[in-house]
Structure 1
Amino acid sequence: MPQYIYAEGKQNDIRTAAKRFELLFEEDGFAISNFEVDEDSNLWALSLYPAEEGVTDIYKIALAELSALSMALPLRIEELADVDWVTKSLEGLVPVEAGRFIVHGSHDKGVINTRGHIAVQINAGQAFGTGHHGTTAGCLKVLSEELRGFHPLRILDLGTGSAVLAIALAKLLKQEILATDIDPVSIETADENTRINEVHPLVKTAVAAGFHHPVFAEKGPFDLIVANILAGPLCKMAPDVARNTAIGGRVILSGLLPHQRSRIISAYRTQGMSLVRTVTENGWLVLVFKR
């Protein structure tokens, strides 16, 4: 049965620990949450979800980090019930308006008012990106604005996940979008979602790590690259992203926290990219660069 790391404590301690774990494990992409359990007693909880095979090692690292902070939160390893949590949580999510788009699940199809918006249906699945997270919603809003006066011909959705961005772009522009991801499961989910949204003839998907796959040479250089992933990989890929961006092309980066701004800007400016704008959405950062 899957396991995760859990602790309960006072609000300040839980929030401090959560912030430290976000910094410590940001490149690993572990999900971290903190929430109120009992308002009257100021009891809060923290949950950390490492990769399944590494829970014990991450638990030891987390304990050592708290010890270095002189914090005595009672961390423990808990069993996670074998439930499709993504599907379960999506059932309670309302449609999200983001710029010219509205993202919804299958349970809302036919009952929501999509007038004036481009509807994108994203069902629960194993890939990231239902549209409800600030990183995705922020990226969709920025795309809505950027594409009013900018008309790219060759477009890449790097680290596509559920393909929410690729689907939105295909519906808005009615042209081919390349969507890639390192994870085969994500690509399976992306293919399913493109069929549901009836844009599968326009969205070409590929399992690709980095930019070594031949599809990048075939379809690039790109006038627009969107990447809603993590700061670590985005910094490492800065030279390849710049090299695969056409002169005058734009790069939109999301999945970033505000404290990572300087690090990302430095990595891309070094590659000849200029910062066009910075947008913050629900505590998450979207950066727009131009080559």
Structure 2
Amino acid sequence: MTDGGNLWSVSATIARHAVTRVEETLTQALGGKSGPFEEAGDTILAVTTNALSDSARVESHQLWRVEFLCRTEPDIEALARASRELDADGISLKPRIVRVPDQDWVVASQQSNKPIRAGRYFVHASHFDGVRPPGAVRLVVDAGPAFGTGTHESTYGCLIALNDLAKRTQITSPLDLGTGTGILSMAVSKTWHCRVLAVDIDPQAVAFARVTAAQNNLRRQLEFVVSEGCRHHRVIRDKPYDLIVANILAGPLIWMAGDIGRHLAPGGRVILSGLLQHQERRVLAPYRLNRMVLEKRIRIRGWSTMMLRTPSRTRHKTLSRPTAPVTLPGSSEVPFM
């Protein structure tokens, strides 16, 4: 049953090796379909998966928390059947069901003229004259030639990841790759009260981001430069970074894994977004080769956002990036060159 302004959370703590199996089984139980999450319809709004340990060395042995955010009250009988099915495979599942207000996590509207609430962030256009949530971090972003107004699942996933990260750590030296409107740079700066270096390959996007930063009174806190990934001398000069946000596309994320690894400080984190759920493994592979471990994953309507962390002490050099840009099979992505 639907419940006005409330949503339903179904969560469980499981071993890392059981994450995929549990996600698939609960997706079927909660969404009523046997297909992948992106085909689960409107019942499941989002799925978050995060490690319950800050260690960057034992990903395979960590306990993980999987949470489904649903529009409707879960079917208790379907969940019981799912638990019995998993138990038969040796996976103990004790799901926790909680009704939650949607004020802290409202999945992004596809209508760009409506304000968006993503955790602590409240994103709205400059013409918005409605009620602003008290205590929220306001981000004023108008539609324009650049990507990133908070309405797309990838941008929204990044905001949720930043909201979670702000509860656990301090950030002092961030980098935003593929900044678009500058929305994520602004979120980082307002959350940690720090300066942010942001780059984009598109000069129009950089110009628009500067205007947007000025609208948010962040002209002095944000520096925008036109750059092909990490190649700009400012990016090289200011490394290492304790946080890199890269909301681009799967192909460029794969190709840039080595560069991102070389620019991260020991113990630093990278948030990767702009990829589809079925592209996760291909994107993760080069980052794991560079000794990064998955710390959090957010899935919204088939789009994925992943947060990874480097070891606190780097023992090996990161691997070089491919000599040519990576294009995924069957993809229309433009290489990040």
TM-score above 0.5, yes or no: yes
Q: Give the alignment of 1:101-250 within 5 angstroms.
A: 101-108=121-128, 110-250=129-269
| CA RMSD, 1 decimal | 1.8
User: 1:147 & 1:219 partners in 2: Cα distance?
Assistant: 22
Deviation of 1:168 after TM superposition, in Å, equals 1.0
The C-alpha deviation readout for 1:95-118, integer Å capped at 9, x for no partner, is: 00011101111121x323231311
Deviation of 1:91 after TM superposition, in Å, equals 8.1
Match of 1:93 among 108, 113, 116: 113
> Where in structure 1 are there 5+ consecutive unaligned residues?
1-18, 20-89
Matched AA of 1:106: S
The answer as to whether partners of 1:104 and 1:122 remain within 8 angstroms in 2 is: yes
Q: SS in structure 1 opposite 2:230?
A: coil
The C-alpha deviation readout for 1:225-281, integer Å capped at 9, x for no partner, is: 001110000000000000000110000001111000110111110111111121112
User: 2:190 & 2:237 partners in 1: Cα distance?
Assistant: 23
The C-alpha deviation readout for 1:19-61, integer Å capped at 9, x for no partner, is: 9xxxxxxxxxxxxxxxxxxxxxxxxxxxxxxxxxxxxxxxxxx
The answer as to whether partners of 2:166 and 2:191 remain within 8 angstroms in 1 is: no
The answer as to whether partners of 1:257 and 1:285 remain within 8 angstroms in 2 is: yes
Query: Which has the larger helix fraction?
Result: 1
User: 1:135 & 1:275 partners in 2: Cα distance?
Assistant: 17
What is residue 278 of structure 1 aligned with on the other side? 297
Q: SS in structure 2 opposite 1:106?
A: coil
TM-score between the two structures when normalised by the length of structure 1 = 0.67
Deviation of 1:150 after TM superposition, in Å, equals 1.2
Identity across matched positions, percent: 39
TM-score between the two structures when normalised by the length of structure 2 = 0.58
The answer as to whether partners of 1:91 and 1:107 remain within 8 angstroms in 2 is: no
Q: SS in structure 1 opposite 2:207?
A: helix
User: 1:122 & 1:163 partners in 2: Cα distance?
Assistant: 9
User: 1:153 & 1:92 partners in 2: Cα distance?
Assistant: 31
What is residue 51 of structure 1 aligned with on the other side? none
What is residue 271 of structure 2 aligned with on the other side? 252
Aligned residues: 203
Q: SS in structure 2 opposite 1:175?
A: coil
Distance 1:246 1:104, change over 3 A: same
User: 1:277 & 1:255 partners in 2: Cα distance?
Assistant: 15
The answer as to whether partners of 2:177 and 2:199 remain within 8 angstroms in 1 is: yes
The answer as to whether partners of 1:99 and 1:142 remain within 8 angstroms in 2 is: no
Q: SS in structure 1 opposite 2:143?
A: coil
Distance 1:190 1:92, change over 3 A: closer
Matched AA of 1:104: H
User: 1:140 & 1:91 partners in 2: Cα distance?
Assistant: 18
Q: SS in structure 1 opposite 2:127?
A: helix
User: 1:93 & 1:256 partners in 2: Cα distance?
Assistant: 25
Q: Which has the higher contact order (CA 8 A, sep 6+)?
A: 2
User: 1:168 & 1:180 partners in 2: Cα distance?
Assistant: 15
> Where in structure 2 are there 5+ consecutive unaligned residues?
1-38, 40-109, 311-337
Matched AA of 1:155: P
The C-alpha deviation readout for 1:161-197, integer Å capped at 9, x for no partner, is: 0000001111111110111001100000100000000
